[in-house]
Amino acid sequence: MPHISGTPYVVVLLIVFGTYLGTALLGLSVQPVNTFATLIWPPAGIAIASLTLGGYRLWPAVFLAAFLANFYTGAPAAVAWGIGVGNTFEALAGSYILRNLQPRALEFSFGNLRETLVFAFGAALGASLISATIGVGSLALGGVLPAAEVERTWIAWWVGNVLGVLIVAPFLLRWLSEPFYRMSFLRSAEIVGVAAASGLVAWLVFWHQDVAAPYPVLVPLVWAALRTGPRGTTLAILVVAGVAIAGTLAGSGPFFQLPLERALLQLQLFLGTVTTIFLVFTAIVEDRRRAADTLGKQVDHLENLLERLRAEDQAKNEFIATLAHELRNPLSPIVSTIELLKRGEKVDIARQASIMEKHAKSLSSLLNDLLDVSRISAQKLEIEKKPVYLGASIAQAVESVEPLMQEKNHILNVSINPRPILLEADPVRLEQIVTNLLSNAAKYTPAGGTITLSATREGSQAVIVMQDTGIGIEAPMLTRIFEPFLQIKRANSAEAGIGVGLAVTKKLIELHGGTIEAKSEGTGKGSEFTVRLPLPPHGAFVKETRKEAARRQRPLSPLRILVVDDNVDAANALGKLLGIRGHEVTLAQDGTSALRIVPLLKPDVVVLDIGLPDFDGYEVARRLKKAKFEGPLIALTGYGQDRDKKKTKEAGFAHHLTKPVSLAAIEEALSKVVSGGLLSQEAPKVEAVAKVPAQFVRS
């Protein structure tokens, strides 16, 4: 049986054999029909339950016990052997039905209508036909049973087997498939109470001759079905059946006026009907109870979802308001500076340019965060891993947040493991992770606070710990702070950001195979963020060769560059910056102009916008390749999604740069096309071509 599965096979075999033989001899001794058929046959239920729970390997116990019981009763050896075969096949067929046709075979909860009906009509009514037919047939063929008694004997045999299966098997299957000692005390007490009540009512009905009808026994069975489930119901039915059979055999009860054989037949028909009805009734009650529990859980789940939607809707509304504020903040000084310059006021150009650059970077950072959140939602955020030293990324992050730290008058302590920590990571994203943590700490720490950043090596992980003396985090928010658009309420919310930094940070860390954890002792007690990133296996990276290092570090020679962009101001600014670096730059405003200029200029590199007024940059790239232009193409566009980068790559672009772009990013892309072998830098090109001035050329 499931909860005594460790019991040796021989022990289980002996238990089944002994139980079957004992109940078989008892049944054959109680008012048998033609000696070998009886209306009281518990062994049928014992055999099916045993083979169902213990496996088909227990069939020898059933066969041997059935053979010995009938041989002891007086059947010839051949007849007893035939009866044993019939009883064994009945047990095998019944257990096969239960083990293979029930939706939850081996659970036998009898709390499901389908499995209950399969049991009643398949295992009880159906399998019993095998035993009755083979057993009576063996008696008739062996000359033990006269032909005139075949029908009467077959009916008694079949009814006895059906009742044995219906009453005994459910009790054994339900009580042995799950240990009863796991029940609570109150549930156990109620089951004992309903069993006692069932026995008392059955005693009042079947042990007295003044009760004309057996129906009062239905009352405690209803209680059992409604309150105690299948376990209490099967026990109550077994108790009622035992008391009723004993009373009827004693000459009492509603059927006492009938001959004993007929009285037992009427009783068994009554008990069979009641058992089937209450097993089905209990299954329906359990189905409804289970459905109600499921519905309750679904309602709770829907309420939680509704509450979450409300919270997300509120967070989204707050996000929109905050976003508008965050966009206006950097735009205001930029617009003011432009107004001053337009009016010709005497201003410090360098200082005003620095202010505009600072706030332009803020806008760019804000836009990048929003794009990252969009990529996270679409599950399209990707990283490009390469060997990178953690200390270098931290140094760059510290440099980028230094102005904010100075503005807030914070003390920033940085401690890095003296032994270099080499990671396999996306250098840009790694710097973004550290920058976001430092910026978050600076914003949520009152002026004059202390922020501590440390990086160490722990086993196979690099550990970054960021601590601050800021406003702290309440316990319920420690996990929610990584949700997009969620912000911690603070007195001065003007600098709190838009609530996407930590969400992006967490996703970037997970893409690197790492984890992040937030800790805080509560409001006003600061916070701590711990980032763990996996270290690559020892010796995973191969050192650069001297030739590769020299080529990577070698400064660029002047290049002929064609910039194609319909944004006049942006293209002119980029052209001047590249010109300052010594490059020869020609500008074009549309695709037609670019296609006309390239054969004349033969540029080393074409920096090409995608959104052009006549036809897009993809088409320009295709036509240039068709015209045998072999120089590298660099896409410079406002479209920065992963699908856009994929399209530019498919169109033949060597690199994809997203606006706004810095001069450093342009030069890095140029260095890559040179070091990647896409462009030769061994000697400057000299071609006899018509000189095109560095201004916009239109078709």
Residues 6+ apart with CB under 8 A from 134: 82, 83, 85, 86, 89
350 in a structural domain? no
Nearest by Cα to 605 from 643, 557, 644: 557
Q: Per-residue pLDDT tens for 411-457?
A: 989 888 778 888 999 888 898 899 889 988 988 899 899 999 999 99
> Domain check: are 575 and 610 in the same one?
yes
Residues 6+ apart with CB under 8 A from 170: 110, 119, 230, 234, 237, 275, 279
Question: What pLDDT is stored for residue 163 in this prediction?
Answer: 94
> Domain check: are 50 and 196 in the same one?
no
Structural domain count, the chain: 4
Helix ranges (DSSP H) in 475-567: 501-511, 546-553
Question: What pLDDT is stored for residue 499 in this prediction?
Answer: 61
Question: What pLDDT is stored for residue 60 in this prediction?
Answer: 95
Residues 6+ apart with CB under 8 A from 129: 158
Q: How far apart are CA 566 and CA 614, in angstroms?
A: 10
**Phi, psi torsion values for 99, nearest 5 degrees:** -75, -20
* pLDDT over 80 at 664, yes or no: no
Question: What pLDDT is stored for residue 551 in this prediction?
Answer: 47
Higher pLDDT, 600 or 488: 600
Nearest by Cα to 650 from 614, 615, 625, 675: 625
Q: pTM of the predicted model, to two decimals?
A: 0.52
372 in a structural domain? no
Q: Judge whether 469 and 450 are in contact, CB under 8 Å.
A: yes
Higher pLDDT, 410 or 499: 410
Residues 6+ apart with CB under 8 A from 388: 422, 423, 424, 425, 426, 427, 430
Give the DSSP letter string of 35-73. TTB-S--THHHHHHHHHHHH-GGGHHHHHHHHHHHHHHH
In the block, which residue shows the tokens 């959140």? 373
* pLDDT over 70 at 540, yes or no: no
Question: What pLDDT is stored for residue 488 in this prediction?
Answer: 62
Q: Given its phi and psi angles, is residue 516 left (phi above 0), alpha (psi -120 to 50 degrees) or beta?
A: beta
CB-based burial label for 135 (10 Å; 0-12, 13-18, 19+):
buried
Q: How far apart are CA 335 and CA 96, in angstroms?
A: 84
SS3 465: strand
CATH label of the domain that carries residue 571: 3.40.50.2300
CB-based burial label for 636 (10 Å; 0-12, 13-18, 19+):
buried
Q: Which residues pair with 415 in a beta bridge?
A: 454
Question: What pLDDT is stored for residue 174 in this prediction?
Answer: 87
Higher pLDDT, 476 or 391: 391
Q: Judge whether 461 and 534 are in contact, CB under 8 Å.
A: yes
Q: Which two tokens stand for residue 43?
A: 């062994």
> Domain check: are 126 and 16 in the same one?
yes
162 in a structural domain? yes
pLDDT classification of 374: cutoffs 50, 70, 90: low
> Domain check: are 196 and 169 in the same one?
no
Final residue of a structural domain among 468, 499, 534: 534
Question: What pLDDT is stored for residue 160 in this prediction?
Answer: 94
Cβ neighbours of 581 (radius 10 Å): 16
Task: Work out the angle between the directed axes of helices 59-73 and 43-54 (0-180°, nearest 10).
Answer: 160
* pLDDT over 50 at 239, yes or no: yes
pLDDT classification of 491: cutoffs 50, 70, 90: very low
**Phi, psi torsion values for 388, nearest 5 degrees:** -150, 140
Mean pLDDT check: name the lowest of 39-53, 372-386, 647-661, 674-688: 674-688
> Domain check: are 9 and 133 in the same one?
yes
Question: What pLDDT is stored for residue 496 in this prediction?
Answer: 52
Question: What pLDDT is stored for residue 15 in this prediction?
Answer: 94
> Domain check: are 664 and 583 in the same one?
yes
Residues 6+ apart with CB under 8 A from 298: none
Q: Per-residue pLDDT tens for 264-314?
A: 999 999 999 999 999 999 989 988 888 888 899 999 999 988 888 887 777
Final residue of a structural domain among 484, 504, 534: 534
CA 496 to chain centre: 33
354 in a structural domain? no
330 in a structural domain? no
Higher pLDDT, 546 or 408: 408
> Domain check: are 153 and 204 in the same one?
no
Q: Given its phi and psi angles, is residue 417 left (phi above 0), alpha (psi -120 to 50 degrees) or beta?
A: beta
Question: What pLDDT is stored for residue 569 in this prediction?
Answer: 79
The residue type found at 8 is: P
The 8-class DSSP code of residue 479 comes to: T
What average pLDDT does range 208-218 have in this prediction? 88
Nearest by Cα to 138 from 85, 84, 83, 89: 83
Residue ranges making up the domain that contains 490: 387-534
549 in a structural domain? no
> Domain check: are 242 and 146 in the same one?
no
88 in a structural domain? yes
Range with top average pLDDT, 80-89, 322-331, 391-400, 664-673: 80-89
Range with top average pLDDT, 104-118, 491-505, 526-540, 550-564: 526-540
36 in a structural domain? yes
**Phi, psi torsion values for 421, nearest 5 degrees:** -105, 110
Final residue of a structural domain among 534, 562, 591: 534
Higher pLDDT, 53 or 66: 66
Q: Per-residue pLDDT tens for 143-153?
A: 999 999 999 99
pLDDT classification of 327: cutoffs 50, 70, 90: low
Q: Per-residue pLDDT tens for 272-281?
A: 999 999 999 9
> Domain check: are 392 and 530 in the same one?
yes
Question: What pLDDT is stored for residue 107 in this prediction?
Answer: 56
**Phi, psi torsion values for 294, nearest 5 degrees:** -65, -45
Q: Per-residue pLDDT tens for 67-103?
A: 999 999 999 999 999 999 999 999 999 999 888 865 4
* pLDDT over 70 at 326, yes or no: no
Question: What pLDDT is stored for residue 436 in this prediction?
Answer: 87
* Furthest C-alpha separation in the chain: 131
Q: How far apart are CA 140 and CA 613, in angstroms?
A: 102
Give the DSSP letter string of 581-609. TT-EEEEESSHHHHHHHHHHH--SEEEE-
* pLDDT over 60 at 697, yes or no: no
Question: What pLDDT is stored for residue 179 in this prediction?
Answer: 62
Mean pLDDT check: name the lowest of 238-242, 412-416, 484-488: 484-488
Q: How far apart are CA 227 and CA 670, in angstroms?
A: 80
CA distances, 18 to each of 12, 26, 66, 444, 528 (Å): 10, 12, 11, 78, 69
pLDDT classification of 197: cutoffs 50, 70, 90: very high
SS3 257: coil
> Domain check: are 146 and 2 in the same one?
yes
Q: How far apart are CA 59 and CA 51, in angstroms?
A: 7
Question: What pLDDT is stored for residue 338 in this prediction?
Answer: 78
* pLDDT over 50 at 548, yes or no: no
In the block, which residue shows the tokens 């049944």? 27
Q: Which residues pair with 553 in a beta bridge?
A: none
Higher pLDDT, 551 or 557: 557
Q: How far apart are CA 286 and CA 172, in angstroms?
A: 19
Q: Per-residue pLDDT tens for 16-38?
A: 999 999 999 999 998 888 899 99
CATH label of the domain that carries residue 465: 3.30.565.10
Mean pLDDT of the chain: 82
Tell me the Cα Rg of the chain: 44
> Domain check: are 31 and 81 in the same one?
yes
Mean pLDDT check: name the lowest of 382-391, 467-476, 537-546: 537-546
Nearest by Cα to 498 from 329, 370, 628: 370
CATH label of the domain that carries residue 125: 1.10.1760
Q: How far apart are CA 699 and CA 589, in angstroms?
A: 8
The 8-class DSSP code of residue 119 comes to: I
SS3 455: strand
Range with top average pLDDT, 195-209, 405-419, 681-695: 195-209
Question: What pLDDT is stored for residue 494 in this prediction?
Answer: 45
Q: Which two tokens stand for residue 445?
A: 């720490």
Can you state the percent helix, strand and coil of the chain, rounding each to 5?
60, 10, 30
Question: What pLDDT is stored for residue 169 in this prediction?
Answer: 93
* pLDDT over 60 at 1, yes or no: no
* pLDDT over 70 at 259, yes or no: yes
Cβ neighbours of 508 (radius 10 Å): 24
Question: What pLDDT is stored for residue 321 in this prediction?
Answer: 62
* pLDDT over 60 at 136, yes or no: yes
> Domain check: are 486 and 623 in the same one?
no
